[in-house]
């Protein structure tokens, strides 16, 4: 279809490039077969309510025959009588062929989210890997891919997608920064970027290699680099041969991870589907030459028709990834789907429902896993609540996601035992294996300089940026850390914010202060957890120090009086050499307390 001549949001559609108005106009009675007049052509049809709300979107090779089936005396689906009863009109969009109808159906379901259609459950929460359309493309991990970008996904396993992105960055030096900096950036200095901002030589070849790996062309690519290496060696161009050798090693390292097995060395996918009520779990088992390499699990909203749910999943799943040579399914696919898969792959795709042999074993494996996964999905509640908290926090701040938060806090007592800590939250949950403790190495005794030291030490050890770095503090803390991030050339890699305890106010650059409500609970939780973690670390350090410092055990010597002692004598050495009479002269230190202090130090 041609978007320049057809407006998908209007009832005006196209037949063979010419305008066509099809369907039944709204009235106050349920729609009837006699009121519908559709052509004998492929296209998409929409059931609408009296108020114009889209209730169902379907596709057909012949629209007139498909619509007639909805008014049969014995409908093949339980939801059809209710759909017809609640519908006030039916409209259609004619397409040049069934494959176009499949694409249009998917887009309309995404747009209108009809009540009676099967669809991916919370599909917007799944990330894509993206290479932007720029002179020096950058790699992105995002749920909202930019237009004109090359994309792969979506991936239900967000951690696997991030791992692939990090592998590609580490092995091929693909940049991820928003802007090209003339002086380079931290990623370049730690080996995660080849530095196209300084020299773009060889960058296009690295991007092409990354694309071909994601498209599943690793075998051909390896052979090409092997030929290049041999030719360079024979020509005595050993540096060029070494580059080809390193590229072969990088490709093998990346493809050897098998973290996104739907993309690399795959020739067969088997689908299984488990259903409980209106929830379905679709399992995709990836196999190569009979060896299972992994599986993906996708939750879906199921509307009672297994064939429709499977077909809708296939059209969604392979929109941004290369289909396999062989697709094993538990149900036949809708008309046009197999042809569309062949177009997507660029070569023939065979769709089979096995009845015997090894493929039955593979499909049974997928089906058994789907039945296990649907039970887990239906029983899973706590994880979804925590993810919802992360999603609500992202929506509150206008961010794409808040699936990974790193929060910093500091602790000290009168300049003594200066420590810091960072905690990590993933998908709304504390990730305790990523918690870190820091002992201040510099001379700073104020929170600002201590925080700067800790964050800088953390920055230098990262090969993956979180969605947000959160600081326990206010605007002054925010500006201090923002300057540090700018110095390292990584501004914009993550959201930077400071959360003040007073009224739970969050501060961000270029945004007005915001008092968090319940929707910001994931950030408050992260800040409180960082506070708990650093204070626990500080108490342990102080407890060990008590064994070494006799003044810690002196009754009546609190923080304020200790501060008076330090100021009066200029430090601990001065206190240790002070006489009993000298101790009595300190403001707030009476004769009995002076006696206890002197005894603790000298007895």
Instruction: Write the pLDDT tens digit of every residue in 496-524.
Output: 999 988 788 999 988 889 998 888 999 99
Q: Which of 252-261, 411-420, 433-442 has the lowest mean pLDDT?
A: 252-261
What mean pLDDT is predicted for residues 261-268?
50
Structural contact between residues 322 and 268, judged by C-beta atoms closer than 8 angstroms: no
**Which residues are CB-neighbours of 461 under 8 A, at least 6 positions away?**
none
Task: Tell me the CATH number of domain 391-543, given options 3.40.50.720, 3.30.420.340, 1.10.287.70, 3.30.450.20.
Answer: 3.30.420.340
d(CA 460, CA 468): 17
Note the pLDDT of residue 18: 36
Q: Report the CATH fold assignment for 268-379.
A: Nucleotidyltransferase; domain 5 (3.30.420)
pLDDT of 231 higher than 60: yes
Distance from CA of residue 213 to its chain's centroid?
21
Per-residue model confidence as pLDDT tens digits over 532-573? 999 888 888 776 665 556 677 778 888 788 888 888 888 777
d(CA 306, CA 301): 11
Distance from CA of residue 362 to its chain's centroid?
30
pLDDT of 17 higher than 50: no
CATH 3.40.1440.10 fits 12-114, yes or no: yes
Query: Distances in Å between the alpha carbon of 239 and those of 236, 244, 316, 486, 591?
Result: 9, 9, 45, 36, 81
Give per-residue burial for 574-601: e unless 16+ CB within 10 Å, then b. Answer: ebeebeeebbbebeebeeebbebbbebb
pLDDT of 61 higher than 70: yes
- Fold match between 268-379 and 391-543? yes
pLDDT grade, residue 481 (50/70/90)? very high
Q: Which of these, 534, 415, 418, lies nearest to 471 by C-alpha position?
A: 534
DSSP symbols for 109-121? HHHH--TTS-EET
Give the angle 53-56-60 at the CA atoms, nearest 5°. 135
DSSP symbols for 346-400? TS--EEE---SSHHHHHHHHHHHHHHHHHHHHHH--HHHHHHHHHHHHHHHHT-S
Note the pLDDT of residue 381: 45
Two tokens at 201? 């030589």
The residues spanned by each domain of the chain are 12-114, 125-255, 268-379, 391-543, 550-602
- In the predicted model, what is the mean pLDDT of the chain? 79
Two tokens at 423? 């905690």
Alpha-carbon torsion 207, 213, 214, 219, what sign?
A: positive
Note the pLDDT of residue 544: 65
Note the pLDDT of residue 554: 78
Note the pLDDT of residue 258: 44
Per-residue model confidence as pLDDT tens digits over 400-419? 889 899 999 988 776 567 88
DSSP state of 138: -
Note the pLDDT of residue 382: 47
Per-residue model confidence as pLDDT tens digits over 176-206? 887 777 777 888 877 788 888 888 888 888 8
Structural contact between residues 262 and 215, judged by C-beta atoms closer than 8 angstroms: no
d(CA 22, CA 89): 11
Q: Report the 10 Å Cβ neighbour count for 6.
A: 18
Note the pLDDT of residue 27: 44
Note the pLDDT of residue 21: 40
Q: What percentage of the chain exceeds 90 in pLDDT?
A: 12
pLDDT grade, residue 171 (50/70/90)? confident
Note the pLDDT of residue 63: 86
pLDDT of 435 higher than 90: yes
Bridge partners of 274, per DSSP, are 281
pTM here is 0.48
Q: Which of 50-64, 126-140, 206-220, 528-542 has the lowest mean pLDDT?
A: 206-220
Query: Distances in Å between the alpha carbon of 240 and those of 226, 234, 247, 280, 418?
Result: 12, 11, 11, 52, 51
What mean pLDDT is predicted for residues 126-136?
84
pLDDT grade, residue 4 (50/70/90)? very low
Give the angle 239-137-133 at the CA atoms, nearest 5°. 140
CATH of domain 550-602: 1.10.150.20
DSSP symbols for 209-270? HHHHHHTT-HHHHHHHHHHHHHHHHHTT-HHHHHHHHHHHHHHHHHHTT-TTTTTSS--EEE
d(CA 22, CA 321): 34
Note the pLDDT of residue 176: 83
């Amino acid at each position: 279809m041609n978007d320049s001549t057809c407006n998908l949001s209007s009832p005006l559609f196209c037949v063979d490039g010419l305008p066509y108005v099809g369907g039944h106009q709204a009235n106050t009675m349920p729609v009837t077969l006699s009121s519908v007049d559709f052509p004998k052509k492929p296209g998409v049809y929409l059931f609408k309510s009296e108020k114009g709300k889209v209730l169902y979107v379907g596709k057909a090779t012949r629209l007139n025959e498909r619509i007639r089936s909805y008014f049969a005396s014995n409908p093949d689906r339980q939801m059809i009588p209710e759909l017809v009863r609640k519908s006030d009109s039916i409209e259609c969009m004619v397409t040049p062929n069934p494959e176009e109808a499949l694409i249009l159906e998917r887009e309309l379901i995404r747009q209108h989210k009809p009540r009676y259609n099967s669809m991916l459950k919370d599909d917007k929460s799944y990330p894509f890997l993206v290479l932007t359309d720029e002179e020096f493309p950058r790699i992105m991990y995002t749920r909202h891919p930019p237009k004109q970008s090359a994309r792969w996904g979506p991936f239900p396993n967000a951690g696997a997608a991030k791992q692939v992105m990090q592998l590609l960055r580490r092995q091929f030096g693909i940049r991820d920064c928003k802007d090209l900096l003339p002086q380079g950036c931290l990623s370049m200095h730690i080996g995660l970027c080849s530095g196209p901002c300084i020299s773009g030589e060889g960058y296009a070849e690295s991007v092409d290699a990354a694309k071909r790996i994601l498209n599943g062309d690793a075998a051909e690519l390896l052979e090409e680099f092997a030929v290049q290496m041999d030719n360079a060696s024979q020509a005595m161009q050993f540096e060029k041969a070494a580059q080809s050798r390193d590229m072969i090693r990088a490709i093998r390292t990346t493809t050897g991870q098998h973290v996104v097995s739907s993309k690399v060395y795959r020739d067969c996918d088997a689908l299984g589907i488990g259903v409980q009520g209106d929830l379905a779990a679709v399992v995709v088992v990836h196999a190569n030459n009979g060896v299972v390499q992994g599986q993906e699990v996708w939750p879906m909203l199921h509307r009672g028709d297994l064939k429709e749910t499977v077909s809708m999943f296939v059209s969604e799943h392979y929109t941004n990834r290369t289909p396999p040579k062989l697709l094993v399914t538990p149900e036949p696919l809708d008309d046009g789907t197999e042809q569309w898969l062949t177009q997507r792959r660029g070569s023939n795709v065979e769709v089979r429902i096995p009845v015997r042999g090894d493929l039955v074993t593979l499909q049974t494996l997928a089906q058994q896993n789907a039945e296990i996964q649907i039970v887990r999905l239906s029983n899973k509640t706590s994880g979804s609540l925590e993810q919802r908290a992360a999603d609500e926090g992202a929506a509150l701040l206008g961010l794409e996601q808040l699936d990974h938060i790193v929060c910093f806090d500091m602790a000290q007592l009168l300049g003594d035992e200066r420590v810091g800590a960072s905690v990590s939250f993933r998908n709304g949950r504390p990730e305790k294996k990523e918690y870190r403790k820091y002992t201040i190495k510099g001379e700073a005794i104020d929170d600002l300089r201590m925080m700067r030291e800790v964050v800088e030490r953390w920055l230098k050890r990262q090969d993956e940026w979180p969605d947000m770095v959160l600081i326990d503090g206010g605007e002054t803390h925010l500006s201090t850390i923002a300057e540090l991030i700018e110095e390292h050339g990584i501004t914009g890699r993550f959201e930077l914010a400071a959360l003040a305890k007073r009224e739970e106010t969050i501060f961000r650059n270029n945004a007005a202060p915001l008092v968090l409500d319940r929707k910001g609970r994931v950030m408050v939780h992260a800040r409180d957890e960082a506070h708990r973690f650093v204070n626990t670390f500080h108490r342990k350090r102080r407890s060990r120090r008590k064994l070494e410092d006799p003044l810690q055990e002196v009754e009546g010597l609190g923080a304020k009086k200790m501060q008076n002692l330090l100021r009066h004598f200029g430090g601990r050495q001065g206190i240790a050499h002070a006489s009993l009479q000298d101790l009595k002269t300190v403001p707030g230190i009476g004769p009995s307390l002076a006696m206890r202090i002197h005894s603790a130090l000298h007895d």
